[in-house]
Amino acid sequence: NAGVTQTPKFRVLKTGQSMTLLCAQDMNHEYMYWYRQDPGMGLRLIHYSVGEGTTAKGEVPDGYNVSRLKKQNFLLGLESAAPSQTSVYFCASRPGQVKSYEQYFGPGTRLTVT
Amino acid sequence: KQEVTQIPAALSVPEGENLVLNCSFTDSAIYNLQWFRQDPGKGLTSLLLIQSSQREQTSGRLNASLDKSSGRSTLYIAASQPGDSATYLCAVLPFNAGGTSYGKLTFGQGTILTVHP
Whole-number pLDDT of residue B29: 87
B4, closest residue in chain A (CA to CA): A42
Look at B42 and A108 and tell me if their CB atoms are within 8 Å: yes
pLDDT one-digit tens code per residue, B44-93: 999 999 988 899 999 999 999 999 999 999 999 999 999 999 999 999 98
| B85 strand-pairing partners | none
Q: List, in sequence order, every beta strand (DSSP E) within chain B.
A: 4-7, 10-14, 19-25, 30-38, 44-51, 56-59, 62-67, 72-77, 86-94, 106-107, 111-116
Question: How far is the C-alpha of B24 from the C-alpha of A86, rounded, in Å?
Answer: 28
Strands A31-38 and A42-49, sheet pairing: antiparallel
Confidence of residue A103 (pLDDT cuts 50, 70, 90): confident
Question: How far is the C-alpha of B115 from the C-alpha of B117, rounded, in Å?
Answer: 7
Residue B14 or residue B101, greater confidence: B14
Confidence of residue B104 (pLDDT cuts 50, 70, 90): confident
Helix (H, G, I), strand (E, B), or coil: what is residue A64? coil
pLDDT one-digit tens code per residue, B5-29: 999 999 999 999 999 999 999 998 8
Among A42, A48, A105, the residue with its CB nearest the CB of B104 is A48
DSSP state, residue B29: -
Cβ atoms within 10 Å, residue A88:
18
Q: Among A24, A34, A35, which Cα is nearest to A2's?
A: A24
Mean pLDDT of A9-13: 96
Among B36, B46, B104, the residue with its CB nearest the CB of A45 is B104
Flag whether pLDDT at B96 surpasses 80: no
pLDDT one-digit tens code per residue, A45-99: 999 999 999 999 999 999 999 999 999 999 999 999 999 999 999 999 988 765 5
Confidence of residue B99 (pLDDT cuts 50, 70, 90): low
Flag whether pLDDT at B40 surpasses 80: yes
Class of residue A43 by CB neighbours under 10 A (exposed 0-12, middle 13-18, buried 19+): buried
Confidence of residue A100 (pLDDT cuts 50, 70, 90): low
A110, closest residue in chain B (CA to CA): B41
A4, closest residue in chain B (CA to CA): B43
